[in-house]
Structures are given as C-alpha cells and as structure tokens.
Structure 1
C-alpha cells in the first residue's frame, strides 16, 4: 500500500492569514524567527527561514467537533508559502528522534490502541500498518515531546 504525508490545506492556511484568527477565534501571534530559523511550518513542511517571521496559533486540524478532535499549537510561515506536495516518505522537516502516530476513524475519532511514540525511521512502516486497517481513515503525526500536530497521513489514491 502507498501512503502520503499531507501538509495543512492551502484553503485553511489562507483563511488563517486573511482573518488572523486561530481555531479558538483568538488572534494569532507573530514572532521573529531566530537567526538559525527552525520553526516547522505546517503548510510548506519546511522550517521557517532564518530571520523571517512566523505565526504561532492554536489549530484544530479536523472538520467536525467531538471529544477526540484535539486543538494544539502549530507554526506557520507569516508570509504566504507554497503547500508541500504530498510525499510517500516522511518530510525532511521531521528531525526529532520520534513522533506520535495515531489512527482515526472516518468520524474523526481516535482508534484506541493505535497511538504510539514511533521512532522517525519507522514512521512510514507504522503508518502503513495502521492504514491497512479498514477502520482507520487517516493517521495524524504529532510531536512526541509537545503533542503538536505536524501533518496528516492518508492512503495514496
């Protein structure tokens, strides 16, 4: 089975840039990046370039609302950027030793027993294992240290 890592959709990011509001309706925060950069944008799936501003905001990457549709902090480039092309391999911006992978139903509910802190080198294998299950519609990849949403993994069409 083929899978793809997907960045936040451009429509979502454009709405955030246009309104300046996060998932709670609060103003997004604008910060200058450090000279070395390093804040991972969830749209281009690259680190915000050194010296460029970034946005910090609360984001809920789900269409509906239920007890399992978590909201958490994310970063975006403050200036418009191109959405990363879906890729069958983990994006290069992922440099931590491990991440949380968690499977969700079509109703955006966590499938219990799927959440696991997964070493970076095993992300593709574990995501494929989860997506082979008929009860799992997608897998979210989150920071293992801060639980921030990073990207979503789907079956490739």
Structure 2
C-alpha cells in the first residue's frame, strides 16, 4: 500500500493567516525563529528557516467537532509557505526516536486500540497496517512526548 503523509490543507492555513486566530478564537502568536532551524511548519513540512518569523497556535485538524477532535499546538511559516506535496515518506523535520500514531474513522473519531507510540523506523509499516482496515479513514502522526499534531496520513489513490 502506498501512503501519503500530508501537510495541513492550504485553505485552512490561509484562513489562519487571514484571520490571525487559532481554533479557540484566540490570536495566533508571532515569533522570530532562533538562529537555528527547529520549528516544524505543519503546512510545508519543513523547519522554519533560521531567523524567519513563524506562528504558534492551537489547531484542531478536523472538519467537525466531537470529543475526539483534539486540539494542540502547531507552528506555521509566517508569511505563508507552499504546501508540501503528499509524500510516501514521513516529513524530513522528524528527528525523535518515536512518535504517536492513531487511526480515525470517517466520522473523525478515534478507532480504539489503534493508538501506539511507534519507533520512527516502524512508522510507515504501522500506518499502512492501520490504513488496510476498512474502519480507518486516516491516521494522525503526533509527537509522542508532547502530543502535537505533525501531519495526517492517507491511503494513496
């Protein structure tokens, strides 16, 4: 099975830049990047280049709302950037040894038993095993240490 690791949709990111508010309706924070790369943008799936500005905000990467539509902190390039092309490989900015993968149904609800802290080397195989199931519509990739949303994984058409 071919996977697609996908950044946030451009329409969602453009709305954040246009309105300046996060998923709670609070103002986004604007920061200057440190002298080294390190703030991973969830749209271009690259680290914000050193000394360039970025946004920090609470984001809920779901269309609807239910008890399972989690909100968490993310970073975005500021000004905006170009969305990463869907890739069969995890984003290059990922450097931790393990990550949290969790499967969701078409109703955007967590499918119980799918959440697992997964070694980086096993991300693709575990995501593929989840997406082979008929009850899984997508898989979210999150930080295992902070639960931050990193990207979404789909079956490639």
Scaled by the length of structure 2, the TM-score of the pair is 0.99
- Partners in 2 of 1:124 and 1:73 — Cα distance? 24
In structure 1, the residue matched to 2:105 is: 105
- Root-mean-square deviation (CA), in Å? 0.5
1:121 and 2:121 matched? yes
In structure 2, the residue matched to 1:70 is: 70
In structure 2, the residue matched to 1:61 is: 61
Extract unaligned runs of 5+ from structure 2: none
Post-superposition offset of 1:37? 2.2
In structure 1, the residue matched to 2:12 is: 12
- Partners in 2 of 1:91 and 1:59 — Cα distance? 19
Q: Number of matched residues?
A: 157
- Partners in 1 of 2:91 and 2:34 — Cα distance? 22
1:46 and 2:46 matched? yes
Extract unaligned runs of 5+ from structure 1: none
Cα deviations by residue, 1:41-90 (Å, 9 ceiling, x for unpaired): 00000000000011000000000000000000000011111100000111
In structure 2, the residue matched to 1:142 is: 142
Task: Give structure 1 regions of 4+ aligned residues with deviation exceeding 3 angstroms.
Answer: none
